[in-house]
Structure 1
Amino acid sequence: MSAEARLLASGEESCHLFGDNGCGFDSVVPGAEVFFPEPWLSFGIPGTSGITKYTVLLVLCVLLVLAFSYFMLRRPSVVPGRVQAAGELVIEFIRTNVVHQQIGGKRGEKYMPLMMTLFLFIFAMNVMAIIPFLQLPVTSHLAYPIVLAVYIYVLWNYIGLREHGFRGHVIGKLVPPTVPKWVLPIFVPLEFASTFLIRPFTHAVRLFATMLAGHLLLAVFAAAGWYMLNLDAGGALTIVSIGYSLLALVAFLVFTALELFIMALQAYVFVTLASNYIGESIEGAH
């Protein structure tokens, strides 16, 4: 684990298991403060926090996606290099397993650049959690998933209204012909709340909550490894503390690998839902 993660998680550098300073793990375990870094530059504008670590990482993610796209497309060849091969693998995965299934083959190609960019961008923001000295997923701040979810929500409504008008897009969803009339007083408000009010919130919170919980779990294992390592405990206690610390390190590495998979999975889920919403707006109510 990096020095930044160790010090951030441990709180007090001198607080270790088997120590005589009277501190316990509850005094060093990381909490919500991990997700609220101090602003590096404040503009003094009410309601804003200025430039924080999130801002810098967001810009870095944009640059990474642009760089990956540039090196993937700059010299396309029949025999692809490593970057082009990786890009083609991701493109084919998104096209086959997301866009074509949720939107359709021919009409879905129009939205391939959007879904591909969304997937790469969200994955890049997620993976910041395990990059040494960065170690903060951008999507663990609710504002960033909400912006993406609201964008998809606006696009979903725009496409639906353009293709089917207000009656087809809104009324058709609230009053479908297959629902018995006596159920409508219950069905309409529930459908309106779930589809037109709650949808962007749940779309964003799913990504936000998963990344926040995963990063906090990694921070706890990082703190535990450092807390249980006490080379000054003396005698057998030193050996025991090293053993405990190694167990925490193994758990940290295992959960880091698992978290990497979850980062890709959450990017996939977000893009799949976005494609599903767009496909639904194209199809209209039946």
Structure 2
Amino acid sequence: MTTMVLAAGDEFVAPGVKDFFLPPIFGEVTKPMVLLVLSILIIGAFFIAATRNLKLVPGKFQFAAESLYDVGRNTIAREQIGAKDFKPFVPLILTVFTFILVNNLFGLIPFVQFPTMSHIGFPLAVSVLVIYPVYHFVGFKRHGFVGYLKHQTMPPGAPWFVLILLIPIEFFQKFFLNPLTLAIRVFAAMFAGHLLLLVFTLAGEYLLFAGGITVVVAPIAFVFAIALTFLEALIMVLQAYIFALLSANYIGAALAEEH
């Protein structure tokens, strides 16, 4: 796990936020930074290997790549953006989905065991620096500056006295809150899940070596840790899917003719 701090004297010290701030590997470079770069190399190598020798009857790598592409293209982009506009955004949605997925799954890989997205700065960077500019840019491009602001903040048919309250709320949500909640959602899930795994794993180890009757209880903690590992794997995949889904949804909403 992140650290192996078990106890101070005879007292168990529970893991916390401090365990997510790892010491630099060299210079100012930390483990999450290395994992972020490694994820890009893994994704690039996977798709290059999978598409290198395409066959009518796909092999394992080609089948996996085609399945991921199908999820990004048809399940997410086409459904959320619409059949008319989705094609230019397929590479973005597929990249975001696989990037978040690989960085989440790092939390389950032995000797790595750290989900990169449990550091708020990384999902925030993807949301604010990539997704946020894209969907507002395409919205302004399609509707014009004033038209897009009206499109995002003034639902058609709403009475004027409702708009007085609704316009600032919608403006705050669409231009400030959406990119933050997009990032916080995956960060919170990865942070909480990894923290729970730390608690049960380190608690089980502490109980095992503390001596006395606690040895009997230790297997229970390990069973919970194993069960949480499977649950966390599911959540990691779901959070990557939800991040890509909402990203496509924001783009689709920006392009839509009707609010």
Tell me the TM-score normalized by structure 1: 0.85
Q: Would you say the 8 A contact 2:207–2:214 is kept in 1?
A: yes
CA RMSD of aligned residues (A): 1.7
Q: Distance in 2 between matches of 1:117 and 1:160?
A: 21
Count of residue pairs brought into register by the alignment = 258
Letter in 1 for 2:55: S
Q: Distance in 1 between matches of 2:257 and 2:120?
A: 30
What CA deviation, in whole Å up to 9, does each residue of 1:53-93 have, x standing for no partner? Answer: 11111111111111111111111111111111111122222
Q: Which has the larger radius of gyration?
A: 1
What CA deviation, in whole Å up to 9, does each residue of 1:129-168 have, x standing for no partner? Answer: 1111111111011111011111111001100011110122
Q: Would you say the 8 A contact 1:10–1:227 is kept in 2?
A: no
How much identity, in percent, do the aligned residues show? 38
2:21 equivalent among 3, 23, 36: 36
Query: Partner of 1:279 in structure 2?
Result: 252
Q: Distance in 2 between matches of 1:31 and 1:167?
A: 47
Give the gaps of 5 or more residues in structure 1: 16-20, 43-49
Q: Does 1:10 align with 2:5?
A: yes
Give the gaps of 5 or more residues in structure 2: none
Q: Would you say the 8 A contact 2:103–2:115 is kept in 1?
A: yes
2:65 equivalent among 87, 95, 98: 87
Residue 35 (structure 1) shift: 0.8
Letter in 1 for 2:245: T
Q: Distance in 2 between matches of 1:172 and 1:116?
A: 27
Residue 283 (structure 1) shift: 1.1
Query: Partner of 1:198 in structure 2?
Result: 177
1:249 equivalent among 213, 222, 229: 222
Query: Partner of 2:80 in structure 1?
Result: 102
What CA deviation, in whole Å up to 9, does each residue of 1:189-228 have, x standing for no partner? Answer: 1111111111111111011111000000000011111011
Residue 106 (structure 1) shift: 4.3
Q: Distance in 1 between matches of 2:81 and 2:60?
A: 30
Q: Where do residues 57-68 of structure 1 align in structure 2 (5 Å cutoff)?
A: 57-68=35-46
Letter in 2 for 1:144: F
